[in-house]
Homo-oligomer: A and B are copies of this chain.
Amino acid sequence: MAIPTIEWEGGKDGRMKIIDQTLLPGELKFLYCDDIQTVWRAIKELKVRGAPAIGIAAAMGTYVGIKGANTNNFEAFWKKLKEVTDYLRTSRPTAVNLFWALERMEHAAQAYSHEPVNTLKEMLFEEALEILEEDRDSSKAIGRFGAELIRKGSTVMTYCNAGGLATGGYGTALAVIYAAKESGKDIKVYACETRPLLQGARLTSWELLQHGLDVTLICDNMVAHVMVEGRVDLVVVGADRIAANGDAANKIGSYGLAIVAQEHGIPFYVAAPVSTFDLRIPSGSHIPIEERSAHEVTTLGGQRTAPEGVKVYNPAFDVIPARLITAIITEKGVIKEPDAKKVQRLLVGAG
């Protein structure tokens, strides 16, 4: 992204700065987070979203929460830090990058517990910036690995937003598209609008147009028709949490998209950094699925579109079983036909 989705402004006494994504594409406005309540709400209300970007926000948010801690005692500091991380943990349940980043900040604090609190704070500040920097690097590596899988002249379908807006850099799924384009391949894109919050329409098509890509927007229910007409060569999506066996939770609708792609013999790729894997979870059925407000489904642009009294079910994610995934593209390499053994081999290096 020419305009960073998330960054830190003004040194260690500064603040977290994000694009408020709920206002896109109509308005490009920044939100400055000086306290953890603002960080929490920004994550909860999807002002910042996308698994990697949530991780970065959580790390910066931890620093926001402890930078003013007025103590020289590690025990007191640790108590404060745990209050902050436990609070941020409640913002959203599915994307593992949130928990991963918070744990990493906790581990950093533990590792430097012998240092004076002021030094410790600086270490945590550096750790948060390091998480952002690593994410930028891994975006680029994912792009490079993924681009090799795309033939010249391909039409790629993507879902939700796994782009620069979902990360600190230039995306996961969209990084693959950007890298393919940069390497001179002539790429076209179908973006699915992604109900109920329209991240595909609002964010992905905006981002792709900004990068000069040829993008066609469709409703989510048009996928099968577009595929049977032969308009799509491959699908690439992001992920919010990947289990040890390669099952991947992603935005609601991804599972159905993978079924329909398989029916048409179209390769289905998941692009995600290593921080999205959760090896403590054996398979997708154990991934907690966030349910969101009925309001998102019954109301459009402030206008009620469904009758009063109707029940609503609004799961925000679903799980793509590994058997429907052609390959998972990470910054460490590509896992073809993923299973527990191959995931273990790439992530831990065993086997």
Give the interface of A toward B (CB within 8 A): 25-26, 190-196, 198, 201-202, 205-206, 209, 214-226, 228, 252-253, 255-257, 259-260, 263, 289, 297-298, 300-307, 309-315, 318-319
Contact B297 A193, beta carbon cutoff 8 Å: yes
Contact A220 B217, beta carbon cutoff 8 Å: no
- What is the distance, in angstroms, from A203's C-beta to the closest C-beta of chain B? 9
23 inter-chain pairs at a CB distance below 8 angstroms, sorted by A residue, are A25-B305, A193-B195, A198-B306, A201-B306, A202-B307, A209-B310, A217-B298, A218-B297, A219-B252, A219-B253, A219-B314, A221-B253, A222-B315, A224-B318, A225-B252, A225-B255, A225-B256, A225-B315, A225-B318, A226-B313, A259-B259, A259-B263, A301-B302
Closest to A208 in B: B310
Contact B298 A301, beta carbon cutoff 8 Å: no
Complex Cα spacing A190 to B313, Å: 9
Contact B205 A221, beta carbon cutoff 8 Å: no
- What is the distance, in angstroms, from A346's C-beta to the closest C-beta of chain B? 27
- The residues of B that contact A310 with a CB separation of less than 8 Å are 191, 201, 205, 209, 215-217
- The residues of B that contact A307 with a CB separation of less than 8 Å are 25, 202, 205-206, 209
Contact B306 A25, beta carbon cutoff 8 Å: yes
Complex Cα spacing A228 to B249, Å: 14
- The residues of B that contact A205 with a CB separation of less than 8 Å are 306-307, 310
Among B193, B222, B312, B318, contact of A253 (Cβ-Cβ < 8 Å): B222
- The residues of B that contact A259 with a CB separation of less than 8 Å are 224, 259-260, 263
Among B194, B222, B306, contact of A217 (Cβ-Cβ < 8 Å): B306
Complex Cα spacing A191 to B311, Å: 10
- What is the distance, in angstroms, from A196's C-beta to the closest C-beta of chain B? 5
Contact B301 A202, beta carbon cutoff 8 Å: no
Closest to A302 in B: B301
Q: Given that A25-B307, A205-B307, A297-B193 are known contacts, is A217 also in contact with B312, CB under 8 Å in the complex?
A: yes
Among B216, B221, B260, B318, contact of A312 (Cβ-Cβ < 8 Å): B216
A202, A226, A313, most chain B CB atoms within 10 A: A313
Contact A298 B224, beta carbon cutoff 8 Å: no
Q: Which 4 A-B pairs have the closest CB atoms?
A: A221-B253, A301-B301, A224-B256, A225-B318
Complex Cα spacing A303 to B193, Å: 15
Contact B201 A220, beta carbon cutoff 8 Å: no
Complex Cα spacing A269 to B203, Å: 37
